[in-house]
């Protein structure tokens, strides 16, 4: 994006509250459009309980917050180098890899989704990875965060800025939409055991295709 490295929109003195507002502006707008195809497909395809849908939503948000903390620390330590790396397309590659991994997880045998506690716990990994990777999507708010952290020159301040940005980005309509999608999937599957397999396979195919599309953007 042309405005990804335009830092002229930043105020002269950026406070942590300003960074939080910047994150909230992302979470309430572009975040939904970017993340819903990935996480909505995952929640629908997994076919878990309503509690699992809520848990996956929480893990997704956690992944985003952790990513922004890490990005803030790296930007504070490395300055503009991180911004240059992000512009190179590594974010799209990581998003693609995480989406493909989530799709492949859904293609595992049905018994692994229903009866094995270990597999059920492992199912929390894809939403965490999706949340982390989707935080790397190049956009103006993220560029502003990296600029603020690079100017701070302090890893601790960079991490604090990343955390505040992540908490702001956590205020997203996805907190409501994803559990609703999980509830929709539950109703679709009631007394239709044959449909469960097709929904899972279809969701896996969508996630893999979305992932391949992101990877091809880099190549």
Q: What is the dihedral angle through the alpha carbons of 2, 95, 163, 27, rounded to the nearest 10 degrees?
A: 70
Question: How would DSSP label each residue in 9-69?
Answer: TS-SS--HHHHHHHHHHHHTTHHHHHHHHHHHHHHHHH---HHHHHHHHHHHHHHHHHHHH
Largest CA distance in the chain: 60
Q: Is the pLDDT of residue 1 over 80?
A: no
More confidently predicted of 117 and 189: 189
Averaged pLDDT for residues 6-30: 76
Give the tens place of pLDDT for each residue, 125-136.
Answer: 899 999 999 999
Specify the residue for token string 């890899």.
97
Averaged pLDDT for residues 162-170: 95
Q: Binning pLDDT at 50, 70 and 90, where does residue 119 land?
A: very low
Q: Binning pLDDT at 50, 70 and 90, where does residue 100 land?
A: very high
CA 204 – CA 188 distance, rounded (Å)? 17
What are the structure tokens assigned to 103, written together? 């799709």
Q: How many residues does the chain have?
A: 219
What are the structure tokens assigned to 15, written together? 């406070």
Give the tens place of pLDDT for each residue, 51-91.
Answer: 889 999 999 999 999 999 999 999 998 877 777 777 778 88
- Whether the Cβ atoms of residue 80 and residue 4 lie closer than 8 Å to each other: no
Q: Binning pLDDT at 50, 70 and 90, where does residue 110 land?
A: low
- Residue 102, SS3? helix
Q: Is the pLDDT of residue 5 over 80?
A: no
Give the tens place of pLDDT for each residue, 19-57.
Answer: 999 999 999 988 889 999 999 999 999 887 888 899 999
Specify the DSSP element, H or E, that contains 108.
none
- Whether the Cβ atoms of residue 26 and residue 169 lie closer than 8 Å to each other: yes
Specify the residue for token string 């459009």.
33
Q: What is the pLDDT of residue 176?
A: 93
pTM of the model: 0.85
Calculate the alpha carbon distances from 15 to 11, 126, 148, 172, 204 in Å: 9, 33, 9, 22, 42
Q: What is the dihedral angle through the alpha carbons of 148, 149, 152, 153, rounded to the nearest 10 degrees?
A: -150
């Amino acid at each position: 994006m042309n405005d990804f490295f335009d830092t002229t929109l930043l105020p002269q003195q950026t406070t942590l509250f300003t960074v939080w507002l910047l994150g909230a502006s992302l979470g309430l707008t572009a975040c939904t459009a970017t993340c819903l195809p990935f996480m909505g497909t995952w929640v629908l395809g997994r076919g878990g309980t309503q509690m699992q849908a809520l848990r996956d939503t929480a893990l997704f948000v956690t992944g985003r917050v952790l990513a922004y903390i890490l990005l803030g620390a790296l930007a504070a330590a490395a300055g503009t180098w991180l911004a240059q790396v992000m512009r190179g397309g590594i974010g799209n590659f990581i998003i693609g890899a995480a989406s493909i991994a989530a799709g492949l997880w859904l293609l595992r045998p049905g018994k692994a989704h229903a009866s094995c506690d270990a597999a059920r716990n492992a199912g929390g990994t894809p939403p965490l990875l999706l949340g982390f990777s989707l935080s790397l999507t190049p956009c103006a708010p993220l560029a502003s965060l990296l600029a603020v952290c690079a100017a701070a020159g302090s890893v601790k301040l960079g991490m604090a800025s990343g955390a505040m940005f992540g908490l702001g980005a956590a205020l997203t309509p996805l907190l409501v939409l994803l559990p609703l999608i999980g509830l929709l999937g539950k109703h679709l599957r009631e007394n239709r055991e044959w449909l469960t397999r097709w929904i899972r396979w279809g969701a896996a195919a969508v996630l893999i295709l979305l992932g391949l599309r992101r990877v091809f953007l880099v190549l």
